[in-house]
Structures are given as C-alpha cells and as structure tokens.
Structure 1
Amino acid sequence: MGAAEDSAQEKADVARLYINDKTVPWWTDNPVITWPARYMLHKYSGIPAEEIDKVVMDLREKAWDTFPYPCVSHLDFLDFQISHRNLLYPRLVEQLKSGSKMLDIACCMGHDIRKLVFDGVPGENLVGIELQQGFLDLGFELFRDKDHLKAKFLQGSVTEDGGLWDELYGKFDIVHLGMFLHMWTYEEQIDVLKRAIKCLKPEVGVKIIGTKVGSVDGRIEDWLGKKIPAHNIETFKAFVDDAGKRTETKWEVDSELDHRYSKFNGRDTWANERMRRLTFELTRVE
C-alpha cells in the first residue's frame, strides 16, 4: 500500500472514532488487566480475585456504549497514569497528605483519584471533573465506594465557561490533565491550559501535571477535520511559554516522550509511526 493509500486509510480509521463499532483497529478482544489493577480491584474494591476478569469485561462493554474511546478498549480506566511516574508520585502523595488539593480534569472513571486514596491521600483533597456522566457512574460501580469515598466528582465540559468552574478557580495546588489535551486545536489547547492555570492558587510552586498523545516531530495532525498539534518536547515547551505569556505567568517545563502510546509497543499497532506519549510536569516559577 502506497503513502496515499496509507493516509486515506488512516483518515478513514480516525473518522470512525466516535462510532460504536468494534471493527475499528483499536478494539481488542483480549485487553490485559495489569497486576496493579487486579490488586487495586481486590484490595480497594473488594472484588474476589476470581471475579475480576468478568467484572472488568462487563464494565468495559458499558463504558464502550457510553463513549467508544480507544482507551476504553485497552482498559486505560485501570491504567493509573500518575502512579507510574516514579519520581513524581511519592512527592505528590506526600504533598496531598499534607493538605494540598488536586483537581483531576477529564478524570474518566476517577481511577487516578482512587489510587491516590488507596495510597493514603484524604479524599477530601481531591476533585474530579468528567464530561461523560456515564463514566463517573461506572467508576462508582467498578470501585464500589459510593458510600464512603470522600472525593468529589463533577460533570462538566472544559470548553464551557461559568457554572462549576467559577467555584473552582484559585482553589488548587495541583491540576492533573488526563489524556485529552491532544483532542483540540492549538488555540483550544491554549484555552484548556489557561483554564487549568485559573484553577490553581495564584502563587509560585503550583503544578500542572498530565499526559497527552504527542509525536516525535511535533507536527500538526489532521484529525476529524481539525488541525491538531501532536507536540514533542520542543513544541510543547513553546506552547506552555505561549500560554504563560497570555496569563502573565511563567512555568518550568519537564516533559518526555515514551512508547506507552506507540505503534511499536505491541499494543497500539494501529497508530502512525510518529505517535508517542508525552508526559509533563509544569511548575509555576513566576
């Protein structure tokens, strides 16, 4: 297949993203439930070990019906993104235990919040926002903690002003941006980052952490008719600097690309050869 045919196929595949269709390339019949996820579901949720596979697979069907993101197929709602970051996570846990507060934007089923609570963070210090109410409901179903979890979950859109956002501005020490920033155009991504900055306390040392789809060459991708920046380290730094200028803030940027989302990781074989995962930690310095 030539380059033109590859490009046409890629566009056709992406156009099916929002269709509840299990013939899409990213659907898998055999997703892996990792050991940390099994441990969490057994110890935190109280699910008997022998029932975990059925519970998770049944819930995946409901999640796919709620919204068929590629991450649903691969059980990324059991991929505790923040805790994978070995240098960041212990510092984050201790900070949150000491009274700092974190907002998790696009929290999906609230899995990262539950992992923090499991590791000793008071739920009162954690707030999650998710566009799809169905994901929030499924989080309570999967983790079985509706009657005792003290974290707060809100349904809302990161693109809409007012409402719940007015109550969140200036309240947090940390904002977590889950796997969603890459869904927007450059200016839309700027608006999201500006909103995250507004949710932080207006002081030096506050942080924005997160994960997004990136690329090795920091190019603009055509995605569902939109021009989407797939940042690399250099373009992401320039992007953050731009947002800083627009908000009269300055940020230290620590980011890296890895193969967690990549054609070469044995899982995301449908991805193009440029795709990578970009993780980041932004610390306000002015």
Structure 2
Amino acid sequence: MAESDKPNWPPPLDHEYTLKEDEIAFFKQESGITDDQALKEHILKVQSDAYAIYPYPCIRRFAFATLKISRYPFYKDVLKLGKERPGAILLDIGCCFGNDSRKVIRDGFPKDQVIASDLRQGFWDLGHELFKSTPETFDVPFIAGDVFSDTLIAPAEPAYEPVTGANPPLKSLTSLNPLIHRISVIHASAFFHLFDEQQQFTIAQRLAGLLSPEPGSIIFGSHIGSAGEPSNRSNASGGISYAHSVDSWKELWDGKVFKKGSVKVDAFIHEMERKDRAPDREGKYIATLLVFCVTRL
C-alpha cells in the first residue's frame, strides 16, 4: 500500500520553529521582515502552502527552512570557484524554494552564473513568496523538470577533454542539455535519498554528464545514508529508496560513473537527531546523513 492510500496520510505538520540564529538573520536579510513574530508567522504560512503541493518530510518537519549549502566543509571551494573561475556555473538541483541558491549568491557566487531546477514549479514560486521577491527582483533562472526526462538532462558520458566555446546565456534555457559538460558546481542536498539504487545510479550518470571536466569541478551535498551496509528503506511516497554506505557511494562515483582515478570522492556519515525517526536500540532518534563531494582531478 502506498503511503498516500493509508489512513491519516499525510502526517500533520510539525510547527516547531527550529531556525538557528544565522538562519533567522538570513531570512530577515532576504525577506525584509525584521520582526521575529511576523517572520515566524510568515514562514509557517509558506510551510502550510508547500505541504499542500507535496507533503515531503523535509517540509513537515521544518527542514525546508534550514541552510544546507553553507554547512558543508566544501563550501569554501564552491565560493572560490565562483570568484576565480571565469564563467563558472552553479546548478542547484532539487532546489525546492531556492534557499541555498540565494545563500550562495549572498556569499559571493555571481548571480548570473547560478541556475536552479526542481520537479515542481510550485516550490520555486513559493520561494518568491517566502523571500518576498519576484522573478524580476530575483531573476535566477529556474527550470522545472524530471531528472529522468531526456528533455531536462539527456544521458551523456562524462567529458575528459577540455570543452570549447562560450556557455549559453542561462536565462535563455528551457533545458539543462545546453549545459552538458559545462557546469562547474552541482549542489544536490536531500535529493538522492528519494530514489532506489538504480535510479540513484542514473541520476549520478546524468549529473556527471553535466559536470565540467576542468579540474576542481564538483558535485556535492548530502542525503540519508547508511553507517553500516547499504540497504533499502521506505521513502516518503511509500516506495523503496536506497541508503548507500560511504564505501559504496565512493565506488559508485569513482569507477562506475567516472573512470577510475579521474575523481576524488570525499564522504562521511553525519548523525543528526530526528524525532520523526524510529528509535534505535539505544532509544535514540537518529538519522544518518551521507555528506559527500565528488571532485574532478
């Protein structure tokens, strides 16, 4: 039985307001709402609207409002690429409201070199509501599409030789295909764990086809992983997704997706408290995040 067919689905929203100080400061800066209570009410309203579009757990438990991209140890490398590599493009895949797209721009990555994509246009539109912007005041291009659709990302082998010619204007794009072999940074957080093992492999292949062969180009992010052996798990839609271990994740990228030795894969498990998870043997409510960075050599 799919989750959507079960009684009491979807679960009720968690209205616990759990933003950190720097996240509150970021929301105030981006939205212009400086009153704490007004900001809280505004964010909770957008949460309810987003949950009606699709009840992802990250929306239910308030994770949608957190900043992910700037927490990673690889973030300094992302900002360095934006500042030092001419025309470096950053793709925020599975971007939801665009929190991380806005954060990386706020921290110095050139705005006209950022592009975002998600399955549902509605989440990006709610991002404008969340941050009190419009497509004109925050004109980062967004492309709605299914990562498994060839019209969004066609299958392409990774490039191992330099790519010539100028990058296309990002605002003119209706597909990511003109960016094959041209993207310097791909951010993918809370994304891979929505899919099964074969689907994750397919996504990895497609993202690898987008990545520039220039040394230092990276794919990074985090998702639910396994601190032990890789395993299947049920996902938010009642289907099966796959939790890679650190070792299996490294093997996937270095040798299967890319030629062996052509990338460096950094990965580690980060444990975090998640009260919506089942307790482990010690009675702790723990989720295991697999944090990773794949770097072209």
Asked if these proteins are the same fold (TM beyond 0.5), I'd say: yes
Which whole-Å deviations, capped at 9, do the CAs of 1:137-174 have from their partners, x for residues lacking one?
00111112323224211111101112513222122111
Higher helix share: 1
User: 1:5 — aligned with what?
Assistant: none
TM-score (norm 1): 0.83
Residue 176 of structure 2 corresponds to which residue in structure 1? 165
Q: For residues 243 and 140 of structure 1, do their structure 2 counterparts lie closer, same or farther at Cα, with a shift above 3 Å needed?
A: farther
> For residues 193 and 223 of structure 1, what CA distance do their matches in structure 2 show?
21
Aligned to 2:58: 71
Give the counterpart letter for 1:109 in structure 2.
F
Q: State how 1:264-283 maps to structure 2 within 5 Å.
A: 265=273, 267-271=274-278, 273=280, 275-283=287-295
Q: What is the letter of the counterpart of residue 204 of structure 1?
A: P
In structure 2, the gaps of 5 or more residues are 153-174, 281-285
Give the corresponding residue for 1:120: 108
Structure 1: where are the runs of 5+ without partners? 1-11
Q: Which amino acid aligns with 1:152?
A: P
Kindly indicate whether the alpha-carbon contact (under 8 Å) linking 1:193 and 1:243 is maintained by their aligned counterparts in 2.
no
**What is the identity percentage for the equivalent residue pairs of Structure 1 and Structure 2?**
25
Question: CA–CA distance in 2 between the matches of 1:143 and 1:249?
Answer: 42
Q: CA RMSD in A?
A: 2.5
Secondary structure class of the residue paired with 1:259: strand
2: CA distance, partners of 1:33 / 1:187: 35
Distance 1:142 1:34, change over 3 A: same
Q: Report the alpha carbon displacement of residue 59 of structure 1 after superposing the two structures with TM.
A: 0.5
**Do the aligned residues in 1 keep the contact of 2:15 with 2:61 (CA within 8 Å)?**
no
- C-alpha change, 1:182 and 1:30, in structure 2 (3 Å) is same
- 1:258 paired with 2:270, answer yes
Say whether 1:182 aligns with 2:174: no
Counterpart pick for 1:218 among 216, 229, 238: 229
Distance 1:83 1:157, change over 3 A: same
* 1:44 alignment counterpart: 30
TM-score using structure 2 length: 0.80
Q: Is residue 63–residue 72 contact of structure 1 (8 Å, CA) maintained in 2?
A: yes
Q: 1:197 to 1:131 in 2, by over 3 A?
A: same
- Contact 1:178-1:210 at 8 Å conserved across structures: yes
Question: 1:205 offset after TM fit, Å?
Answer: 2.5
Q: Report the residue type matching 1:231 in the other structure.
A: H
